[in-house]
A and B are shown apart, each in its own frame.
Chain A
């Protein structure tokens, strides 16, 4: 009767105080049948990575609207590699200029979603790209 259930963390790194988007995404993941761990606002990259490891999640969705994405998002990827936990997939979304996306992907983010993306598209992306680890 063993069955892997997808576990996903939704986290907000840094200092911006807007989590409507993060909550809507969390709700969409719940409705897709995933177990969603929501960390709340104002998380440091260190807290996010430690929580992702303790919760044994398959992926982490980072929501960021503050403009500090080029600093905070690569830092999460760096720490997760340091902890040898880079089998956990990291992706992000928020107000992120197109020009910044290639750099973020090179830093280790598997995908970046920008404003206007539907929750259906994000859920579909997760289903296609994230499998619960064996």
Chain B
């Protein structure tokens, strides 16, 4: 029996193995994903993003516990960075959440970025789909610790949560473009710290200046102390309010359209690139072109046009 069929009957090892095949770029994983796709689209996907050390993993641990108390099953994808020098990684998000490891209603998978920018790994979307097909009610995606511009999570999650902590900078940081624009929910974690209220105020001020203020969903700023389990029930209530809003307002339709378009284009881009690249790598054209560029006999622009015209038989 193929992995996908075993996954649909609840086999954990097959799910874990397919995630590995996806992450390692095995073509066979694509056939399994084709079988799983009709079984996806049911999970509520929550994204958690924010700077390193903000407490994202601890929050995910507590959110998971809260959803388990509400009788929901939870899948978690937690991403940590790959070393640009050795290709190795230390995936440490489980340290905060491994108490859930032997709960059959929870499945946790750690992924390394493997050089992908944007806060997620290239495999994240497909791994989320596996968890969705496994029947997880809620899937939580924890991004790598991000700075200002890593916003892939928006097109992955139904509800994006931006976690901040006190003391990371002044109110100019709060009006810059980037991750502070993407939150459906904002959290100031470590709220026992002295300047927490100031951080909440700065974020709230930023949100009030939003040109769409008063229209559609109004993001709130919530305070949590994840390590003491404070503010977590309120946070989960806010996720649920956002979920209800998405469905009642019809905003879910637009969100899913964008998400699906983006997913399709990403798969198309990957597939075209890997097909063309493996061809020119095997037949030696790739090395020829690079050598030609060294002597300036070949320019990369014409080389790409020639290869695209040959491989895809398009007229440019």
Q: Which A residues are closer than 8 A to B by beta carbons? A: 1-5, 7, 26-27, 29-40, 43-44, 46-51, 53-56, 83-85
Contact = CB atoms under 8 A, between A and B. Distances in A.
Interface string B98-121: 110110000111101010000000
Interface of B: 12-13, 16-17, 19-20, 23-27, 82-83, 86-92, 94-96, 98-99, 101-102, 107-110, 112, 114, 274, 277-278
Given A3-B25, A5-B24, A55 B110 contact: yes
A39 B98 contact: yes
Contacts of A3: 24-25
Contact of A53 (B12, B88, B90, B278): B12
Chain B residues touching A, majority SS? mixed
A51 B108 contact: yes
Given A40-B94, A40-B95, A55-B110, A33 B102 contact: no
A54 B99 contact: no
Contacts of B24: 2-5
B31 to A, nearest CB: 13
Given A7-B20, A54-B108, A55-B16, A39 B95 contact: yes
B123 to A, nearest CB: 12
A3 B107 CA distance: 24
B109 A54 contact: yes
Contacts of B91: 35-38
Most buried by B among A5, A32, A37: A37
Nearest to B27: A2
